[in-house]
Structure 1
């Protein structure tokens, strides 16, 4: 009797490197959630490991400690800025079907709360790293990613009448970006996306386009890294079994 063909897909065995990367990605995702919920100081490696489904030893086999894990989460958030195609003036999609990771199980309010929670944890980390001779260098490297990204924008959109160096304009743009985030986190004020883009354009001496940016915009407010779409992407790509 002929054997019927199996309808079960063959199980693909991961290489050791692939398995290690999967474990690392799971810990980064769990770390984001834990830091968001409990803050940088409140989150524990035991809790993060348990949330990811691993032992604490798995954390130490991938990261040197909580600070290094937090830096890895920051690196994920900053990955979009490393691309030459990053555009702070691009209008976000208003179509849920076009939004990475948009699912019925992850309402916008929940994602926005994750963004806010991690922003507050980042402030905790900054105050810790600023007093640590080792961590301050790692923190500066991450800030430099933001400065480099705005530096590329400043160089590309440089006005003929600009007298400041692109690096100086980039610092001013980054300061506006992070200052807006701080205002949003403190609850003092909320800067919507249109106003943020208008301010950035004014720093590029582009007053005409800056005025056009003030038309009503549905894209919300400037928020600290990670942004909403970054969080949705992380939830979507969160490693499964």
Structure 2
């Protein structure tokens, strides 16, 4: 007689429930926006009752922050090198997910994030929560600068990291506003020039256009996998 697997512990069940709610919330926030997103809808799409949401998250803002944390963990999971030549954006998952659906999901969540930022800016507690996450993002850019910068640059690594982050995040805002004036090729060239102008001139800017943002590939992969699961 085959041995049955050990039952899940209470902690493991809670972790699985929390993850399912976060994945469902990302889809609903992307589709409906932050303000229109409904916790009951999120719970239903995750396969739970609304009570499961409040057992894991204090409110909608806390759930949105949890989605942000999950995205950030994915985006920062792999170190990146702005001087590494990128040929093309790798396929996120094989089959079943169109580029249009993936772009719409990522754009939708970016727009929901703008809504949330406007809410957080007027709330002292949420503003502090957002500030801590932005600092984590700045630290990631600063670490890239620390590894790549040229010796003797009068700017500190923190200043160059902040400017690199501003370029990357600002390019995303321009894209959301409807202009593609700063594509991925130009963005990478700009970050290279900030970090090491001489090396940037030597390497040129002949990357293929790999899409907006410099930390998006892991997030794209996760969202594509979720879209594939929803369609199956």
When the two chains are superposed, the root-mean-square deviation of aligned CA atoms in Å is 2.5
Preserved contact between residue 116 and residue 185 of structure 1 (Cα < 8 Å)? yes
Deviation per CA, 1:28-71: give whole Å up to 9, x if none. Answer: 10010000000000101011001101001000011011000000
Tell me the CA shift for residue 189 of structure 1: 2.6
List gaps (5 residues or longer) in structure 1. none
Closer, same or farther: CA 93–234 of 1 in aligned 2, 3 Å:
farther
Preserved contact between residue 30 and residue 109 of structure 2 (Cα < 8 Å)? yes
Please, which of 22, 28, 34 is the counterpart of residue 16 of structure 2? 22
2:51 matched to which residue of 1? 57
Matched residue count: 228
- Structure 1 or 2: more helix by fraction: 2
Structure 1 Cα separation of the partners of residues 158 and 165 of structure 2:
11
Closer, same or farther: CA 208–92 of 1 in aligned 2, 3 Å:
closer
Structure 2 Cα separation of the partners of residues 11 and 127 of structure 1:
47
Please, which of 195, 206, 225 is the counterpart of residue 215 of structure 1? 206
Alignment TM-score, normalising by the size of structure 2: 0.88
Structure 1 Cα separation of the partners of residues 181 and 47 of structure 2:
37
Structure 1 Cα separation of the partners of residues 66 and 134 of structure 2:
14
Please, which of 94, 111, 124 is the counterpart of residue 133 of structure 1? 124
Please, which of 96, 109, 117 is the counterpart of residue 118 of structure 1? 109
Structure 2 Cα separation of the partners of residues 18 and 191 of structure 1:
44
Give the 3-state SS of the residue equivalent to 2:124 in structure 1. coil
Structure 1 Cα separation of the partners of residues 14 and 167 of structure 2:
38
Preserved contact between residue 138 and residue 165 of structure 2 (Cα < 8 Å)? yes
Please, which of 70, 76, 86 is the counterpart of residue 79 of structure 2? 86
